[in-house]
Amino acid sequence: MQIETGSVSLILALGSNQGEREKLIEAALKKIEERIGRILSLSAFYYTHPVGFDSSCDFVNCACEVASKSDIHAAFAITQSIEKELGRVKKSEKEQYADRLIDIDLILADDMVLDTPELTLPHPRFHQRGFVLAPLCEIAPDRIHPLLGKSIRQLHEELHGEDAVTSEKCGILAKQ
């Protein structure tokens, strides 16, 4: 779908490994559409193992593209607010990850590059994470990483080893 004039294309990655994972992601997507902007495309749900910490609870992950007229900092604040509303009580700090009800990461905003204490764009590690790249490859394979100059498809193909996503995808909510 086409982005209308005055809108920014936001790429969001969502994940949950606690509670009713699919329902939490569906609730987050509904709030995103109500408060940030129209969801233009949505990947299937992927079941993935936790990365960066040990847990017996697998994640459900997906990615979406949103057309937003919100200021980038306002859109980011809304994602954080949605996480809290859905029960997230603590954010990961200094790459110390833990189980969570919901996680909404702002991955890309057009080709914007930003580095502030609150927000870094593009997301600094998304190109190393199969659980982000696999669903992103579904909805935006030709999108270019603004710093690395490579497409999402190229980044996904280059990823290998334990970070590659080989788990089954579930077609719940697949929308393009």
Give the CATH number, domain containing residue 70.
3.30.70.560
130 inside domain: yes
Mean of pLDDT values over 102-120: 95
Residue among 21, 100, 129, 143 flagged as catalytic: 100
For residue 107, give its domain range.
Answer: 8-170
Rounded CA-CA distance 28/15 in Å is: 10
Q: Is 105 a catalytic residue?
A: yes
62 inside domain: yes
* Cβ atoms within 10 Å, residue 154: 17
Quick one: tokens of 5? 């004039």
36's CB contacts (< 8 A; 6+ apart) are 10, 66, 68, 70, 75, 78, 79
Residue among 21, 88, 129, 143 flagged as catalytic: 88
Rounded CA-CA distance 48/26 in Å is: 17
Mean of pLDDT values over 148-168: 75
18 inside domain: yes
**Is this structure's pTM higher than 0.85?**
yes
Number of separate domains in the chain: 1
pLDDT tens readout for residues 28-61: 999 999 999 999 999 999 988 777 666 667 889 9
113 inside domain: yes
Q: Is 58 a catalytic residue?
A: no
Q: Is 145 left (phi over 0), alpha (psi -120 to 50) or beta?
A: beta
Alpha-helical (H) ranges within the chain are 21-35, 72-85, 130-139, 152-158
Residue among 58, 99, 105, 163 flagged as catalytic: 105
38 inside domain: yes
Q: Is 63 left (phi over 0), alpha (psi -120 to 50) or beta?
A: beta
Quick one: tokens of 173? 């909510």
139 inside domain: yes
pLDDT of res. 134: 93
176 inside domain: no
pLDDT tens readout for residues 90-101: 655 555 566 778
Rounded CA-CA distance 81/100 in Å is: 15
Of 176, 140, 175, 171, the C-alpha closest to 22 is 171
**Could you give the angle at the alpha carbon of 165 between the alpha carbons of 107 and 114, nearest 5°?**
15
175 inside domain: no
